[in-house]
Structure 1
Amino acid sequence: MKRIIVRPTFGLANRLWAVTSAWLLARRFQLPLAMLWQPGDSWDNHQWSDLFQNEIETLDNSEYEAAMAEGVPLASDWFNGTSQDDPETVIRRIREEGVIHDNGYYDLYSRLRNRGIRIRRCRRLRRKIYRELRPIPSIAKEVDEFVARNFRKRQVIGLHIRRGDAMSGPHREQYAPSTDAAFDRVIEERPGTHFYLSTDDSKTERRFRERYGDRIVTHLKEWVESEYNQPKAGQRAALVEMLLLSRTNEIFGTRWSTFGTMGAKLGGIRCTAAIEE
């Protein structure tokens, strides 16, 4: 059976990158979309249906392995050089055989587009897919009520400060330029503006609330441990915070983090990395 199969991995933003790019590819080639959604590093036991209303066929491990055994082309083969297929062959094979998006968190469509897939409607279709993502009613209600209560139709800028496992993992130098001082500058350059702060570190939240008072709005949540290469609880709260970021006017995020970027994509707004000069 020809279809686009995606196996999202890692955290919320990376999983959404994978799903939306595979969804876009399925639309492009008019093929069914299916996914293997499972716990793993930077994730907990939340299933897709615990977070979103959108119905996507879900595979179990045996069904995914069966597709692998059938020789469905692997997207990673086109990315890492093990396949010598030219762009036209890539397009033909996807049309005729489907593809397994086994890279988990890559933006599949953009990478394949760079191999010769060009459609004028790409950006419009991608925005349409972001708009079609529908959180479950309880999450949507929580977000709407928070926005009505705390944003009150005034300009609110979103801040996403990534700390936690990012500061202890092997890529910490990539995140490091987004210091507290960099976010201080964003706030201090905008007197009178209110900010919605999303962070995975309680000390960071406390510092900014104490320093800037009621100019900082935060979402009440249960703090969870954030360790590199380990499961991470609290993904429902993470989705709420991402959606709240998407409802701000603009986002300043942490360099190399996809969380703020995905929030901006969902809201159709700009996300800029806050970097200490």
Structure 2
Amino acid sequence: MKKKRILLKPTSGLGNRMRAISSFIYFKSLIDAELNVIWVPDAGLNIHYLEIFKPSPYFNLLRPNFTYQLITKSKTLLNNKFGLVRWLSRLYNTIVSRLIGVDCVLLDEDVKKGAEHLQKVCEGKFNILVITGNQCIDYPEGFQAFVPSSDVAAKIEAARKQFKENTIGIHIRRSDHDIAIANSPLHLFEDKIEEYLKVEGDDFAVFLATDDPEVSDYFKGKYPNAVITYPKTFGRNTKEGMMDAVLELYLLAGTKKIYGSYWSSFSGVAKRIYGTDLEILHV
């Protein structure tokens, strides 16, 4: 019997890609399909998969293929207020999908409807192309697929030597993330550190993960004996910056408890790596 085949092109940043892959590890079992991942370095995540992770037994890693880039996932076109534009955009995707040999194309809006919906859509389909930065189901077990590369693992182990036995993690999302800035102000994280200092004194440490160098400098200056950071390259557009983001993610995941920012996937992904307790600090 012909085997179903999922071609998954995860998009957006590191956390979004890991969650998407994890969810389709579940979905491939649901429809008895093989899972193939097309990992494309771009402005959102400028690094190849094998530079940060080892090959996974949970899916096949394929070389990036230009033909899959021809599918449009533009919400401006696919959700346009003019019906003719929506119809033409979907017709274009249908024609392209047939030319590149796939039976159906699933984009963000399809994936957001969940695994059961996708199961119905994929009935009778054998070559399924998925382009998404979303998950079709929350499947923490799927994160077992991600094992840091030898180089990354060695750096993680070296950095963890700074940790104390009681080390909590704090993730402060800033940069262009207006929702996190508005809902998770800095004083909430300062209050949490003060709470621990009153109870634990010098017997605890804070590992701080942030995308803002000013925030990093501020907390290290205010709590020099408690706050630990990884001396990383900030930014997503360099290989060094993205490798450091992976290091920071796994260091955050290895703390006793994570205090995260509102509406940020990074905190949620860190929780799922080792099952670490997560509390989102928000107003």
TM-score (norm 1): 0.78
CA separation of 1:275 and 1:127: change in aligned 2, threshold 3 A: closer
User: CA 1:249/1:88 → structure 2, altered by over 3 Å: closer, same or farther?
Assistant: closer
Deviation (angstroms), 1:216: 0.5
- By how many angstroms is 1:94 displaced? 4.7
Report the equivalent of 2:156: 143
- Provide the C-alpha distance between the structure 2 equivalents of 1:51 and 1:88, rounded to a whole number of angstroms: 32
- Map residues 70-89 of structure 1 onto 2, 5 A cutoff: 70-76=101-107, 79=110
State the number of aligned residues. 243
Identity across the alignment (%): 22
- What residue is the counterpart of 2:189 in the other structure? 183
CA distance, structure 2, for counterparts of residue 89 and residue 28 of structure 1: 10
* 1:8 match: 10
Identify the residue that residue 259 of structure 2 maps to in structure 1.
252
Deviation at 1:71, TM superposition (A): 4.3
CA distance, structure 2, for counterparts of residue 143 and residue 14 of structure 1: 21
* Partners of 2:230 and 2:180 in 1: CA distance: 27
Instruction: Report deviation, 1:8.
Output: 1.1
16, 20, 23: which one aligns with 1:18 = 20
Aligned AA for 1:90?
Answer: Q
- Contact 1:11/1:42 (<8 A) preserved: yes
2:11–2:17: 8 Å Cα contact kept in structure 1?
A: yes
Q: Compute the displacement of 1:97 (Å).
A: 2.2
Rounded to whole Å, the distance in 2 between the matches of 1:39 and 1:31 is: 25
- Counterpart of 2:38 (choices 36, 39, 47) is 36
Matched position secondary structure for 1:24: helix
What's the CA shift for 1:91? 3.8
Residue 116 of structure 1 corresponds to which residue in structure 2? none
Matches of 1:220 and 1:89, distance apart in 2: 42
What does 1:174-213 correspond to in 2, within 5 Å? 174-191=180-197, 192=200, 193-213=204-224
Higher-Rg member (1/2): 2
Query: 1:98/1:22 Cα in 2 relative to 1: closer, same or farther (>3 Å)?
Result: farther
Consecutive unaligned residues in structure 2, runs of 5 or more: 72-95
Distance in 1 between the 2:180 and 2:186 partners? 15
1:215-254 correspondence to structure 2 within 5 Å: 215-224=226-235, 231=237, 234-254=241-261
Shift of 1:180: 0.8
> Which residue pairs with 1:109 in the alignment?
137
Tell me the CA shift for residue 146 of structure 1.
Answer: 1.6
Task: Flag the 1:138–1:272 CA change in 2: closer, same or farther, 3 A.
Answer: same
- Bigger strand share: 2
CA distance in 2, matches of 1:255, 1:88: 28
Q: Which letter maps to 2:50?
A: S
The C-alpha deviation readout for 1:50-108, integer Å capped at 9, x for no partner, is 11112433143245369832342233387389x9xxx5883473575253222x21112
C-alpha distance in structure 1 between counterparts of 2:118 and 2:62, whole Å: 28
The answer on whether the counterparts of 2:23 and 2:142 sit within 8 Å (CA) in structure 1 is no
Whether the 8 Å contact between 2:108 and 2:133 is mirrored in structure 1 is: no
Rounded Cα–Cα distance in structure 1 between residues aligned with 2:44 and 2:102: 29
Distance in 2 (CA, whole Å) between partners of 1:78 and 1:165 is 23
